[in-house]
Structure 1
Amino acid sequence: MSKDAPPHISGTPDAPSTSTARRTRRSPLRRRRLEVGDVNVVDKSMMKKAVGGTVVGNTMEWFDVGVYGYLAVTMGAVFLSEADKDAQLLFSLGVFAATFIARPLGGVVFGRLGDRIGRQKTLAITLLMMAASTFAIGLLPGYDTIGIWAPILLVLMKLLQGFSTGGEYAGATTFVSEYASDKRRGFLASILDLGSYMGFALGAAVVSVMQLLLSESDMVGWGWRIPFLVAGPLGAIAIYFRLKIEESPAFQATLDAQEASAKAGDETDSLGTVGIFRAYWRPIVLAMVLVAAVNSVGYALTSYMPSYLTDSKGYDPIHGTLLTIPVLVLMALCIPLAGKLSDRIGRRPVLWIGAGSTIVLAVPAFVLIGQGPVVTTLLGLLLLAVPVTFYVGNLAATLPSLFQTSSRYGAMGISYNIATAVFGGTAPLIMQGLITLTDNDMAPAYWLMFTSVAGAIAVVFMKESANRPMPGSMPSVDTHAEARELVAGQDENPLLDVDALPFDTLGSQQAPAASGGTAGSAEAADAGTGR
């Protein structure tokens, strides 16, 4: 099977006009017309399992991120007890950033694995590693017990977390995006991030309860361990749900085609890491810039803000944590609405709203937070949550649509995790460093504005992907009636380029994929019901 080519990237990414589409489809080079049996009809039962199984993993991942972010001051006191408070905070934020150093390596390893053995198996492995390393942190002795080995072991466990997390988000977004129908991909993929931020809020809530019930000395002495130890049973539950889901129909069809080609003696090697860079360098660069913009403002609100409120604005740790919880919960509930909006008006317009609102609201948000009263602080946090909602609600559906099915997990693992390592995990450290360097509490706002300007430019060069088949995949719909309607209107549909569909690489004409609702099911169902 030939190696897949990168998707088209254009400065005018809107769909071709109907007349252009008709001229293309009338070309004598056209392989054949789309038939009902080619269209994937989503199995709703498996779709629910796929979303649920990936959401629980994302929830657990961000539970850990939330716990560590809200315990940053305490973790510094435990693992670097002989240093002053400023050094302890910088150490704790530095360890948080170090976690992300391992993410690109994890993205490459698990991305490659996910494109070879499947998304479902790889996601089970990443979740197991993540749960184990988080649980292990809760068992580590502090600096007063084993000295310098305490921070070293903490860094090692966080690096292992980062390595496993490198395959988590890229795989989860790829998995759900491949399962979803074309017209609901934005909404269904955004549910992943609802779980992410609810996990973060859950972590914050657990830390808040601990801070309310325990004294500061008890928190430093033993209380900090409990939230990390909770990751053990949470991880077991998440792994159970994840093992219940099947491989995505789109990727299963690719695996079937590769196996058939291998049996026939054809070339079946997929793109390696270097090959992915060569074939996809343009969309990889665009994805990195967009992820940098999204994660800068996202991690500013989640991981950095508790430390900012405590260290720079004089809030005690309890209030610094509690103030962000209602904002996170409200934002999490609104994220699927942003995903649904992108299904209606397109991914690019909603991403521009996210970039524009960051540029407009960053300074007012930090000004309000700096006023002091709880009411203005909450209002400032809500202003920061607005761009995060529009950004994050679209990222999970936008990024996988930049890459072909056979190399999607690998390309996602590379682009997302490199950008997250450079601009996401380091966001708290960068913003705290900017304040220290400039002695200006508004410096983080200017940084967020800068990254969102870059993000807005990246969106200009992205092709619109809403309501269109993903590259390397056949069209996906929710009902058999939609499949028949799509086939009947294929010549007039500006969102469907029949010549770009992978008739010769996916297995819809060779054999149905393993999961229910895959290619051919619409035709079979129609025959069985007499429709």
Structure 2
Amino acid sequence: MADVLPEGAPESRGTRSPGGASTHLPEQVRRDLVHRLRRNKRAFRQDDVQVVERPLLRRAVGASALGNCMEWFDFGVYSYLAATIGKVFFPGASPAAQLISSFATFAAAFVVRPLGGLVFGPLGDRLGRQKVLATTMIMMAVGTFAIGLIPGYATIGVAAPILLLVARMVQGFSTGGEYGGATTFVAEYSPDRRRGYLSSWLDFGTFVGYALGSALVTGLNLALTDDQMLDWGWRIPFLIAGPLGVIGLYMRLKLEESPAFQQQLDAHEQSVAQASAGSEFRTIVTRHGKALLICTGLVLLYNVTNYMVTGFLPTYLTQTLHRSSGFADTLVLVGMVWIVLLITFIGRLSDRVGRRPVYGVAAAAMIILAVPAFLLIRSGATWPPVLGVLVLSTLLAGFAAPSAATLPALFPTAVRYAAMGIGFNFAVAAFGGTTPLVTEALVEVTGNDMVPAYYLMAAGAIGLLTVRFLPESAQVPLNGSPPMVGSDTERRELIATSGRLYRASRDASSARR
């Protein structure tokens, strides 16, 4: 039996709410709804539809976004201070070697991210999302705070870069459970119609954190001399992570588990989850291999662009193009503020037009606009580089906004956290976190300062190919989750709609017989 209603069926073009107003039902929503009704062999009842309480939803989104904000506060600080950190921890090397060593330490955190995903992901599926997210918050704050306390090479010698590497790896390990868990948590809390908009607040937190970090470093560079920055000024942003971590931990400890996770903890689902815990990685790879590949392609697209703009561009402007650090810092900060202004609007747009069109248009635009954007950035004037950064930032917002809603929808509830931990972190480690290091090395080897643009074009081509295989998930319930709505009125409308769709489907089947 087909999963959609036959052409001409009464509900094929829309539905009417209980109040009589016509409500368009998107095709993918109608398809999913009819499939669920035929599988259940009845229309929805009240217990079949989950209403999300607004206070719980606000706390879930806010606490998750704060974690992302804190993570990217650190990454923004580290990216902007890469040259300074190179001088503090690798003083005997040439400027180019200092920079590459600093970026190598930056990339080291991404090497252990997959390990963090392999550890925290299954724990999140078995013990709960909230407990694991509280743990990752503690580890992240400790790792970041520790960097601000490490003596420089001049004080303790080779132990300094070793301790820096250890602190970065603690950060990377905790981050392996952070983004996948936060996206899973918010996606499972969000009403289906607004998942793109609400999930986009996670990456809103990401870029607010980066903007705050970069703004702080910019302020310090303007207020302090070079010697003061090298001596003690660079430590201030890292030490601020301690109080931020306490606030974030408090907020996360106040959270309740997501409705989808609570629902799966009946006796049958719990026994299945426990039985497969030891072989969860193999289960995910064998049963959800296609979804993992799609996840990898989208994460590559997003994070190559992300780390090119946030991690590499500040140093590219100062070290390769020889612009002032104040100009470089301000330019990238403008881009981050622009993303913050755009991202929730694009998230809302993805709810209306779908995730695939948003990704597809942005990926195609990346292929076309990467070279022009870098030609503008290379200009010796003031305003063309601003325009170039705004172009890249707009494309980055197009990839970031739908990601937190799209990626969790690829996997069922029972393995969602673990699958996200694997797919997201392996892709970020392989392609995202290495972007500043690889791009800087390629520019050094080739002497061609347009290499970053070609790198982005390749990412855009891979992303465009991935979108071709991406299933549309806008407004559709998550795999393994009940339909989620934001109010009792929406629940009544959905139950009434399901009744009409079920009767129409049943009547059409009887007519064919």
Q: TM-score, normalised by structure 1?
A: 0.86
Match of 2:121? 111
Shift of 1:276: 1.4
Shift of 1:31: 4.5
- After superposition, the C-alpha distances for 1:125-182 in whole angstroms (9 at most, x for unaligned) are 0000000010001000111111111111111110110000010000000000000000
Match of 2:51? 41
Shift of 1:319: 2.1
In 1: Cα distance, 2:327 partner to 2:112 partner:
32
Match of 1:325? 333
Match of 1:207? 217
Shift of 1:253: 1.1
Shift of 1:235: 0.9
In 2: Cα distance, 1:267 partner to 1:92 partner:
42
Shift of 1:120: 0.5
**Corresponding letter in the other structure for 2:407:** L
**Contact preservation (8 Å) 2:37, 2:498:** no
**Corresponding letter in the other structure for 2:397:** T
**Contact preservation (8 Å) 2:110, 2:433:** yes
**Corresponding letter in the other structure for 2:384:** T
In 1: Cα distance, 2:489 partner to 2:256 partner:
25
**Corresponding letter in the other structure for 2:240:** V
In 1: Cα distance, 2:250 partner to 2:36 partner:
46
In 1: Cα distance, 2:204 partner to 2:147 partner:
26
Mark the CA change 1:463 to 1:267 in structure 2 (over 3 Å): closer, same or farther: closer
In 1: Cα distance, 2:273 partner to 2:433 partner:
40
**Contact preservation (8 Å) 1:21, 1:491:** no
Determine helix, strand or coil for the equivalent of 1:323: helix
Shift of 1:485: 1.5
Shift of 1:256: 3.5
**Structure 2 residue 384 is the aligned partner of structure 1 residue 379:** no
Q: 1:81 aligns with which of 79, 84, 91?
A: 91
Match of 1:288? 296
In 1: Cα distance, 2:294 partner to 2:167 partner:
31
**Structure 2 residue 363 is the aligned partner of structure 1 residue 355:** yes
* Structure with more helix by fraction: 2
Mark the CA change 1:150 to 1:479 in structure 2 (over 3 Å): closer, same or farther: same
Match of 2:161? 151
- Residues 53-202 of structure 1 correspond to what in structure 2 (within 5 A)? 53-202=63-212
Q: 2:484 aligns with which of 458, 476, 481?
A: 476
**Corresponding letter in the other structure for 2:89:** F
Moved over 6 A (4+): 16-21
Shift of 1:373: 1.5
Determine helix, strand or coil for the equivalent of 2:275: coil
Shift of 1:99: 0.9
**Structure 2 residue 221 is the aligned partner of structure 1 residue 228:** no
- After superposition, the C-alpha distances for 1:32-72 in whole angstroms (9 at most, x for unaligned) are 43212210011001000101111111100000000000000
Count of residue pairs brought into register by the alignment:
477
Shift of 1:413: 0.4
In 2: Cα distance, 1:491 partner to 1:434 partner:
60
Match of 2:511? none
**Corresponding letter in the other structure for 1:155:** L
**Corresponding letter in the other structure for 1:435:** V
In 2: Cα distance, 1:59 partner to 1:18 partner:
36
**Structure 2 residue 269 is the aligned partner of structure 1 residue 269:** no
In 2: Cα distance, 1:18 partner to 1:179 partner:
21
**Corresponding letter in the other structure for 1:141:** P
**Contact preservation (8 Å) 1:25, 1:491:** no
**Structure 2 residue 313 is the aligned partner of structure 1 residue 305:** yes
**Contact preservation (8 Å) 1:51, 1:176:** yes
Q: TM-score, normalised by structure 2?
A: 0.89
Which sections of structure 1, spanning at least 5 residues, go unmatched? 1-13, 499-531
In 1: Cα distance, 2:479 partner to 2:62 partner:
25
In 1: Cα distance, 2:37 partner to 2:221 partner:
68
Match of 2:400? 392
Between 247-256 and 155-164, the greater mean CA deviation after superposition? 247-256
In 2: Cα distance, 1:457 partner to 1:447 partner:
16
Determine helix, strand or coil for the equivalent of 1:353: helix
- After superposition, the C-alpha distances for 1:297-356 in whole angstroms (9 at most, x for unaligned) are 111111111000011111122221122112201211210011000000000000112201
**Contact preservation (8 Å) 1:182, 1:475:** yes
Mark the CA change 1:161 to 1:17 in structure 2 (over 3 Å): closer, same or farther: closer
Determine helix, strand or coil for the equivalent of 2:498: coil
**Contact preservation (8 Å) 2:356, 2:467:** yes
- After superposition, the C-alpha distances for 1:472-521 in whole angstroms (9 at most, x for unaligned) are 00100111121121122226669xx99xxxxxxxxxxxxxxxxxxxxxxx
Between 311-320 and 226-235, the greater mean CA deviation after superposition? 311-320
**Contact preservation (8 Å) 1:294, 1:452:** no
**Contact preservation (8 Å) 1:18, 1:492:** no
Mark the CA change 1:439 to 1:473 in structure 2 (over 3 Å): closer, same or farther: same
Determine helix, strand or coil for the equivalent of 2:254: coil
**Corresponding letter in the other structure for 2:114:** P
In 2: Cα distance, 1:295 partner to 1:212 partner:
30
Determine helix, strand or coil for the equivalent of 1:466: coil
In 2: Cα distance, 1:138 partner to 1:305 partner:
24
In 2: Cα distance, 1:25 partner to 1:145 partner:
65
Mark the CA change 1:26 to 1:251 in structure 2 (over 3 Å): closer, same or farther: closer
Match of 2:431? 423
- After superposition, the C-alpha distances for 1:346-393 in whole angstroms (9 at most, x for unaligned) are 000001122012112111110000011221111110010111011100
Determine helix, strand or coil for the equivalent of 1:100: helix
- After superposition, the C-alpha distances for 1:430-482 in whole angstroms (9 at most, x for unaligned) are 21122122211111111111111111111111110001100000100111121
Match of 1:336? 344
Mark the CA change 1:493 to 1:221 in structure 2 (over 3 Å): closer, same or farther: farther
In 1: Cα distance, 2:248 partner to 2:181 partner:
15
**Corresponding letter in the other structure for 2:182:** A
Q: 1:252 aligns with which of 262, 266, 284?
A: 262
**Corresponding letter in the other structure for 1:401:** A
**Structure 2 residue 469 is the aligned partner of structure 1 residue 488:** no
Mark the CA change 1:143 to 1:17 in structure 2 (over 3 Å): closer, same or farther: closer
In 1: Cα distance, 2:254 partner to 2:32 partner:
44
**Corresponding letter in the other structure for 1:57:** G
Determine helix, strand or coil for the equivalent of 2:265: helix
- After superposition, the C-alpha distances for 1:205-264 in whole angstroms (9 at most, x for unaligned) are 1111111111111111111111100101111111111111111111111124457x65xx
Match of 1:432? 440
In 2: Cα distance, 1:382 partner to 1:492 partner:
48
RMSD of the alignment, in Å?
Answer: 2.1
